[in-house]
Amino acid sequence: MGWIGETVDSIKSIKIRQLLTQAITLGMIVTSALIIWKCLMCVTGTESPVVVVLSGSMEPGFKRGDILFLHMTTEPIRAGEIVVFNVDGRDIPIVHRAIKVHERENTGHVDVLTKGDNNDVDDIGLYADGQFWLHRHHIMGRAVGFLPYVGWVTIIMSEKPIIKYILIGALGLLVITSKD
């Protein structure tokens, strides 16, 4: 129990200037993380350069908890590409494969039908009522890379928010009580 006494002592002996310096350092760390995230958004051309796979509809290729790196270019969408799209009215993006593509002459407007590899039917049931095709503005990006298991951290933190609070609380405590 000696370290509780030490912790209390160290909190009591904190000087204002040191505290401010630590707060600024913390702020710098958070801000640089944000800057890196925004740069990634610019480079990859999509609003969410990294997504976590939430469902098993693309197994065995992508399991729940894997993360996907997305990239969006102005290249036309072609069959076989794994696309991430938002359906009007739903906020969770879906990661499935394009199985049918019809591209209009001249305008480049494209109709896309998608299907999850592990699903038996195509995604018409997932689209909005009366919608039979996806269009370019629904598609947020193409999956170009993949890392297994790393996404579990995000899934655990969003499904059990208590863990998020414990983690941030512990980090905060560590920052305050460190003598650096």
Q: Which residues lie near another protein (CB under 8 A)?
A: 60-62, 76, 78-82, 97, 99-106, 111, 117, 122, 143-148, 174, 178
Yes or no: say if 63 and 53 are a contact pair by the CB < 8 Å rule.
Answer: yes
Among candidate residues 139, 153, 90, the one with its CA nearest the CA of residue 111: 139
Q: Which is nearer to another protein, 23 or 144 (by Cβ)?
A: 144
10: Cβ contacts below 8 Å, ≥ 6 apart: 177, 179
Given the complex with another protein, which of 36 and 90 has the nearer CB atom? Answer: 36
At its nearest, how many Å lie between another protein and the CB of residue 43?
15
Tell me if residue 71 is catalytic.
no
Q: What is the largest CA-CA distance in the chain?
A: 76
Tell me whether residue 16 or residue 121 sits nearer to another protein (CB atom): 121
H-helix or E-strand containing 7?
A: helix 2-12
Q: Specify whether 117 is catalytic.
A: no
Active site residue 57: yes
Active site amino acids: 57, 96, 123
